[in-house]
Structure 1
Amino acid sequence: MKKVLLLGFLCGALAVFVFHQGTLYVLHHQFPLIKALTGAADAFRPATSGFSFRSVPPLGVPQVLSLAFWGGVWGIVLAALIRYAHMPDLLTGFLLGAVACTIFGFTVVAQLRGAPMWGGGNSIIWWRAMLLNGAWGWGAAFLMRPFGVGGRGD
């Protein structure tokens, strides 16, 4: 159990820096190429390139550190699903991030922040959030692989 808690948190937090923020960085800086290859709408390009140190309420910590903390918490959930529900790691990671984390963010987190529920109904915000959160989940599961989180016994 300790292994799941510790590795889940560490891999989830690290996945925020590498995969979530890395995907945001690539989307922002390589958008002309992405648009040329996929035909993505201009609105799909994020306004920032990630790694924001803007303070966020209620504690005033930098945004990227807040994201890393919550990525660690969700990483524990992911590690538990992989370990105890015996679910496929990379698929479970992607789906947990793309679906569960996105829905949680657009409902519970939006309510706490006073933001529009469900991303204000903007489908582009939904697709971008699902891509970023899915990248986080896939990356967290990928980072857990060398530690045998999916194996049996602690």
Structure 2
Amino acid sequence: MIWFKAFISGLLATLIFHQGLFAVFYLAGMVPSAPYNLAPVPPLGVPAVLSLAFFGGLWGMVLWLILGRLSGLFFWLGNVIVGAIGPTAVAMLVVFPMKGLEVTAKTWTGGLVLNGFWGLGVALFLVLMGARAAQKANSK
């Protein structure tokens, strides 16, 4: 059940925190493309935002695997830091080159900020769903 909660936390954090902040950036003219992209992506033709949310869910599970035993400030900061660095590094070093997208200091910075905020969202949803309480109960 905890892995399901971690997946849902990552998925919801993508749709609310990541895409929410991306919307703020878009409205401020800081990014050229709109959030909540519904354009189909290969190979299944699902909307891009749903694909992103699915991978956000998988990353949520990775964060739980790495940080689930932490508590207090270390849990929150860990989710922000690992959430910022992990997905951004994979995006910039693997995904962007595969898609022929330019990797710049601006994309790195934007990715770190967006994904750090996403990591905060993952931590928040884990706590709201009781994952932290379940983890503490199982460790006793």
TM-score (norm 1): 0.78
Q: Distance in 2 between matches of 1:107 and 1:12?
A: 21
Q: Per the alignment, do residues 21 and 80 of structure 1 end up closer, same or farther by CA in structure 2, a change over 3 Å counting?
A: same
Aligned-pair CA distance for 1:111: 4.3
1:72-119 CA deviation, whole Å, 9 max, x = no partner? Answer: 0000111222324x2622211111221111001111223443445xx1
Structure 2 unaligned residues grouped into runs of 5+: none
1:130 Cα deviation from its structure 2 partner: 1.0
Whether the 8 Å CA contact 2:63–2:83 is kept in 1: the answer is no
Amino acid paired to 1:82: L
Calculate the aligned-residue CA RMSD, in Å. Answer: 1.9
Aligned: 1:46 with 2:31 = yes
| Cα distance in 2, alignment partners of residues 142 and 100 from structure 1 | 18
What is residue 99 of structure 1 aligned with on the other side? 85
Matched, 1:134 2:116: yes
The percentage of counterpart residues that share the same residue type is 33
Q: Is the 8 A contact 1:89 1:142 kept in 2?
A: no
Q: How many equivalent pairs are there? A: 134
Match of 2:32, as an amino acid? A
**What is the SS of the residue equivalent to 2:68?**
helix
Any gaps of 5 or more consecutive residues in structure 1? 32-41
Match in the other structure for 2:45? 60
